[in-house]
Amino acid sequence: MKVLTLALLLSLPVAQLAPPRPLRQPITQVTKRSKGGRWYFAATGHAVYCYGPVMTVPRANGDLQRVATFCRDGSAVVPLKD
């Protein structure tokens, strides 16, 4: 009887202990909007990749300036060269 019990216990499947799965990185605003971006020419002379719309905002002196929004470098607003 002991041999039968021992054979039955040894034939049962043993669960493998797997390492815990890594947690997913939280999705930020920029990575969530990663589709549909566009390259723009910034007023500084550099190219920037932005996801948001192009807007016209007033300057301090009253003139209007075009800006791109939600850019990949982390800035919310980048002045564009006209």
For the segment 8-33, what is each residue's pLDDT rounded down to a tens digit? Answer: 777 777 767 777 777 776 666 555 54
Instruction: Provide CB contacts within 8 A for 41, sequence distance 6+.
Output: 47, 48, 80, 81
Task: Give residue limits of the domains in the chain.
Answer: 38-82
Global pTM reads 0.54
For the segment 29-62, what is each residue's pLDDT rounded down to a tens digit? Answer: 555 545 689 999 999 999 999 999 999 999 899 8
Instruction: Provide CB contacts within 8 A for 15, sequence distance 6+.
Output: none
